[in-house]
Every structure is written in structure tokens, then in C-alpha cells.
Amino acid sequence: MMKISLVRAARNPEASRTLPSLPFEKDGMDIARSTISRWPGYAPSPIRDLSDLAAELDLGKIYFKDESVRFGLGSFKPLGGAFAVSRALSRYLSAETGEAEPDLASPQMKARVVNLTVTAATDGNHGRSVAWGARMFGCRCVIFVCSSVTRQRKDAIASYGAEIREVDGSFDDAVRLAAKTAKDEGWFVIPDTSDGETVEAPRDVTQGYMLLVDEALDQLRDEPPITHLFLQAGVGGMASASAARFWQAYGAERPITTIVEPEQCACWYESLVAGEPVAVTGDIDSAMAGLSCGEVSLIAWPVLRTGADFMMTLSDDAVPVMMRYLAGKGQDARPVIAGETGISGLAGLVAAAQDETLRKELGLGPDSRVFVVNSEGDTDPEAYKTIVGKSASEVLEQ
């Protein structure tokens, strides 16, 4: 049986069963659902039943929401970045034309946005999503990438027509430069994190992510309730969106929620222990590239401050172990294509279930029904093949 070792784990002292006032629009979920479901190629991402792993870990069920097939982009990110682009353009066009719900697909509206520019900072998938949305709606796009972003990820973003600007620094440095440039140039900035000043777009991003769990609630409507969530957290967008949507659906009976991060960039771990946002500095690059963030999003903070029950950190050693396991053929839903960040939540579950003390604290056992998200597939095909030893297509041909 594979072994994943945790580095640190702790209970969140501020965890609560009471749903806070969420930092979202009242009808945000409805808007996200109605908007995204109309896009070409939309379909709910599948849930993979990892029954082999559940049996090995002596758990009841592991539901693995597989975002590797979302819109052909290989991650959950289009639900956020592209949706936020649509909201920014819709608000602009409403103000210009007086139409409450402008049709972004119409030639008249495309003519109005062709000279507008959207921008974002990225460590890979968010920038790709924003660029994809900009191409779909017909506006210009500039993406700032931090120094750790691989050439393949840059090329994937550029393939949607975006201009790439490289930043000599971290993801957080790229976020700040994108915001400053947008302000100076009069562009629309579409960050997936909030510093408290830019709120509207990151709120839209997070509301779009909530569709992921909204789909799952429908897909699992005939199943017993979920008991545990293991959610990877970079800035916290997907984690807060997922926790919030389950909280809305389950109320005080919400699942026990654990935040999973790489040890070197555990800004959520440090912040939840401190009871306030804490920035992690230094070398924060991780093999789990999408989680290489040193600062929590202030949109996500009010949700996870009390909505996360536990937090844990892993070393990068978990990446090849989990990726290869999921690429193997099993008696269950495997093989599943999962990238370096995609495996993080599942790796956290494995580490927790194999640690006797944490397993007991979390109440993991044969009756546990665990929800985890495969947040990306082979979004860097070269890295995937190097780690797994086969390309995604070769894995799926097994």
C-alpha cells in the first residue's frame, strides 16, 4: 500500500458549525449556474468512485470530483476566471447600453468589447481560464506569470490569444503587478484572490467555483450525506467555495472540513493558527504548483476562518506517489488523470487516514463518505509524462 506522510496537522481553534454571512452576491449561485450552463461544451464534471482506495483506507466512500475534463481546459478554473470575465464585461455593457442582461455572444456586443482588456496573474490554470474566456467573449487579454510557471503552461495560455508578461518573482508579486497595471491602463483585472481592495472580480471567481459542489450535490442526491471534505488550498478560492456550498446545503451538519497545503507555502495553516491572515514568505514554490501562494484571499478568509475544522501540510514527495497511483489501472474508476495540484486533497486524505492520531481526531472510519476534488489533469503534459512515465493518452489506453 502506498504511504503518504503528513508534515503538520492541527485543529482550527475558531471552527464553528454556524454559517457566517457569506461574502457573495445573494443570487450569485443562480447567476453562475445559468451563465456557465449555457456555454458551448458545458457538462457537469464526473465523480469518480475510488472504491479500491476506500477499501485500503477502511473508509466507506471516496467521491473524487474530476475536473480534468472541464471544457477541455483540464481544470476547474473556467468556472471562476472565465465566469468573472463574463461578469466584468456584462456590467460594463449594461452601463453602456442600459440592457440588464446583455448577450455577450451577439455581434453587436462583441464589437463593443473588442478594444477592452482583461488581465490576471497566474501560476498556470487561472490565467488559462481568463484567456479562454477573453477569446470566447472577444476582448483583449494580458496575463502576468510568475517565474515558476513552466514554458508549457505559458504556451497553453498564449494559445488562446493572450499576451504573456513574465514577472521576476512569486505569484503574489505577479498579482500586485497585474493590479497596478490594470489601474494604470484602465483594464479589467480578474484576480482569483483578494487583498481587500479588489473585491468584485475575485468574488465572481469564487461564486463560479461554487458550481462545482452544486453539481456534486445533484449528482449525489441519492447517496447518504458527505461526512468529510479534504480541500487543497492555495489562496483559498476553490476551498472556500466548496466549503460554503456544502455549508449552505447541510447547515450545522456540514462535513468535517480539512484544508491541505504544501508545507513551504502553508499560508492557511499559519493564518488559521494565528486567527488572522499571515503571509508566508521566502521560497514558496511547490511541485503542487497551483498551491504556491503565500497569502490568503480575503474573500475566502471569512468562510474558512470558521469553516475549516482542521489544516494539514504535506511535502512535495506526495506528488509522484499519488499521480502514479491514480494513473494505475484498478477495479474502480482508475485510471484517473490527475496533475501535480489535482492530487493534493486526495493525498491529504491518505495521509490523514494513515496517521492513527489524526484519523481518530477526524472521525475517519468505515462509515465515512469523503468528497475530494481532482482540481486539474495534465495541464503540463511534459511534467505529467516525466512524473508518471506515460502520457495521459497512454494512461487512458490501459
pLDDT of residue 267: 97
Q: Which of 240, 243, 202, 206 is nearest to 226 (CA)?
A: 243
Q: What is the pLDDT of residues 276-306, one digit of tens each?
A: 999 999 999 999 999 999 999 999 999 999 9
Residue 129: which region, alpha, beta or left (left: phi > 0; alpha: psi -120 to 50)?
alpha
> What Rg do the C-alpha atoms of the chain give, in angstroms?
20
Structural domains in the chain, CATH included, are 6-75+202-396 (3.40.50.1100), 81-191 (3.40.50.1100)
Other beta carbons within 10 Å of 252 = 9
At 292, list the grid cell.
504556491
pLDDT of residue 336: 97
SS3 category, 48? strand
Cα–Cα distance, 268 to 57 (Å, whole number)? 26
Cα–Cα distance, 293 to 233 (Å, whole number)? 9
pTM of the complete model: 0.94
Low-confidence stretches of the chain (pLDDT beneath 50):
none
| Active site members | 77, 123
pLDDT of residue 350: 98
Q: Are 277 and 302 a contacting pair, CB within 8 Å?
A: no
CA angle 338, 312, 254 (to 5 degrees): 85
Q: Which of 57, 64, 52 is nearest to 359 (CA)?
A: 57
pLDDT of residue 24: 87
pLDDT of residue 146: 86
Other beta carbons within 10 Å of 72 = 8
pLDDT of residue 58: 98
Q: Which residues of 145-171 are buried (b: 16+ CB within 10 A; e: fewer)?
A: bbebbbeebbebbbebebebeebeebb
End-to-end Cα distance, the chain: 21
Cα–Cα distance, 349 to 333 (Å, whole number)? 18
pLDDT of residue 193: 87
